[in-house]
Chain A
Amino acid sequence: MPVDHRRIQGPECSEDYRKPKNLDAALLKKGGRRADGRKCGEQRKIFLKPGVVSQAKGSAYIELDHTKVICSVFDPREKASRNVEQQTVRGEIFCEFKFASFSGVQRRSHQQEADDKEYSLLLKNALEPAVCLHEFPNFQVDVQVLVLQDDGSSLAAAITCAGLALADAAVPMYDLPVGLSKAFTGDTEFYDPTGAEERLCLRGVDGESDHGVFTVGFLPTFNQVSQLFHSGHISPDRFEKMISEVGTLAAEVHKAVQAILLSAVKSSIDSSNNSKLLL
């Protein structure tokens, strides 16, 4: 389809420029509880399962209440040589992030849109530091993420899911990456936001300067942040405070991922009847 490069394309849909006066009543009930009954600093219950896609070398499925993400990792293949000048002998991770057409309230395109491409790059930045790229020189590992249902924190869920899928695919890694997200506006912070909370915090509340959604890719063992994405407005002190909290918040998710992986390995050992591994 011919694209017009001369004119500046406006957004396809329009939004009211006025910010809401106060936090929507539906979002914060009495007693400081959120719409789904959680406290502001509480994570949704995680459901994780590795080895769900039979055609892929490794795969994982994550559910955070209504956010459902599935990730598949494929065997290393030769790098699609785009840059002949890029003479690196390192391996590469090729991420493809996609919101399914049925994942949100409005139908999305079946091809990658602008935010799919942006999230692909963010996911790649989050996963790259965790993978031992020198172990497969000149090859690329394909990571395909599909968001089946989006109810907030989909990028964070994708990072966690992709980390588990990479471990399931026996790709050598330095650490299990974990994704976290926080939405905030003014003084109110929603940890692991739902879709409605995210949308409100992206626009901000009238009169409050700090707002936005913060997504972090974190490597728990080495206490390193691999990827940080913030959309909105934040003061430097607030920023520092948020970064310092990431470690403790990530520990919970990391424990869950570790436990799932260990039990998956254990059940594979038991099912193979100790035949191959004893050699």
Chain B
Amino acid sequence: MSSTNERIICVPGQVLCASSNDHVAGQGTFERMGYIYASLAGVVKVEKKLEINIVQVQSLKEQSTVPSPGDIVTARVLIVKSRQCMCEIKCIGDITLTRPFRAVLRQEDVRATEKDRVKMYESFAPGDIILARVLPIMDVHTYQLSTAENELGVVISNSEAGVPMVPISWTEMQCPVNFTKKLRKVAKVIPENIDMDMEDNTETEKKPNIS
């Protein structure tokens, strides 16, 4: 190992320390035959958590993020079929991906209640941007998503006029130009700046409701 300014730099395969109850292998390291080795080229960081030292290696290049079960991802709907829809994962959390990943959203995973009565055409449309959660990997080749929560579902959807539609309920969105209503599984996105004054909110959100 070599150090610059009290920082320890390491390369893959380099021994960092002996593993014990105090020292645990963290990200960028692996344990073998009682020793902790580095698996990346970078800087060694030791994090202390409840008297346990977690030995990590932080690489200079971002390690490629891969969707893992439980992550909330932003995806675009590509194809809508009767029992499932094919999506493309664009972001994982805050990180935008350089390469999109393919995923499948099945009929049973769209809602938490009345799972079999869901109609895919009334929940999603091609081109919608959705927030979904990654399910544990079952299928070898594609990721499985779920929108069975209030906060998950369609976030942005463009109408035929090409304008983003406005959500009017948990199952409907309306186009502000021609006022047509479309059925979607809308996500309960809590805006970052909430105006707590309820009176102001109702006035600004008044929209003509011509059906």
Q: Are B7 and A176 in contact (CB under 8 A)?
A: no
Residues in chain A near residue B15, CB distance under 8 A? 221
Over the window 56-94 of chain B, the binary record of Cβ atoms lying under 8 Å from chain A Cβ atoms (1 yes, 0 no) is: 001111111010000000000000000000000000000
Q: Are B11 and A167 in contact (CB under 8 A)?
A: yes
- In the complex, how many residues of chain A place their beta carbon closer than 8 angstroms to a beta carbon of chain B? 43
Which among B96-104, B107-115, B165-173, B174-182 touches the partner chain?
Answer: B96-104
Say which residue of B40, B43, B59, B140 sits within 8 Å of A138 (CB atoms): B140
Say which residue of A136, A219, A262 sits within 8 Å of B64 (CB atoms): A136
Choose among B39, B62, B99 the residue with the greatest number of A CB atoms under 10 Å from its CB: B39
Assess A269 versus B4: contact at CB under 8 Å? Given A78-B141, A261-B41: yes
Residues in chain A near residue B148, CB distance under 8 A? none
Over the window 51-62 of chain A, the binary record of Cβ atoms lying under 8 Å from chain B Cβ atoms (1 yes, 0 no) is: 000000110000
A274 to B161, CA, bound (A): 50
A155 to B61, CA, bound (A): 27
Q: Are A176 and B13 in contact (CB under 8 A)?
A: yes
Over the window 217-250 of chain A, the binary record of Cβ atoms lying under 8 Å from chain B Cβ atoms (1 yes, 0 no) is: 0011110000000000000000000000000000
Choose among A79, A170, A222 the residue with the greatest number of B CB atoms under 10 Å from its CB: A170
Q: Are A78 and B59 in contact (CB under 8 A)?
A: no
Minimum CB distance partner of A75 in chain B: B64
Q: Are A169 and B61 in contact (CB under 8 A)?
A: yes
Residues in chain B near residue A77, CB distance under 8 A? 99
Q: Does A198 contact B (CB under 8 A)?
A: no
Over the window 67-94 of chain A, the binary record of Cβ atoms lying under 8 Å from chain B Cβ atoms (1 yes, 0 no) is: 0000000011111010010111100000
Assess A170 versus B62: contact at CB under 8 Å? Given A132-B30, A262-B2: yes
Q: Are A261 and B11 in contact (CB under 8 A)?
A: yes
Q: Give chain A nearest CB distance to B135 CB in angstroms.
A: 14
Residues in chain B near residue A274, CB distance under 8 A? 5
A258 to B2, CA, bound (A): 11
Q: Give chain B nearest CB distance to A54 CB in angstroms.
A: 13
Say which residue of A78, A172, A221 sits within 8 Å of B102 (CB atoms): A78
Q: Does B124 contact A (CB under 8 A)?
A: no
Q: Are B64 and A138 in contact (CB under 8 A)?
A: no
Q: Are B37 and A269 in contact (CB under 8 A)?
A: no
Minimum CB distance partner of A261 in chain B: B11
Assess A76 versus B141: contact at CB under 8 Å? Given A220-B13, A269-B43: no
Q: What are 17 A-to-B residue pairs whose CB atoms are below 8 Å?
A: A57-B64, A78-B102, A87-B140, A88-B140, A138-B141, A167-B41, A169-B61, A170-B41, A172-B12, A172-B63, A176-B12, A221-B37, A262-B9, A264-B41, A265-B9, A266-B2, A277-B43
New A-B pairs, 14, CB < 8 Å, besides A220-B13, A221-B13, A266-B2: A57-B61, A57-B64, A79-B141, A172-B12, A174-B12, A176-B11, A219-B13, A221-B37, A265-B11, A266-B4, A266-B9, A269-B4, A272-B60, A274-B5
Chain A residues in contact with chain B, CB under 8 A?
Answer: 57-58, 75-79, 81, 84, 86-89, 132, 136-139, 167-170, 172-176, 219-222, 258, 261-262, 264-266, 268-270, 272, 274, 277
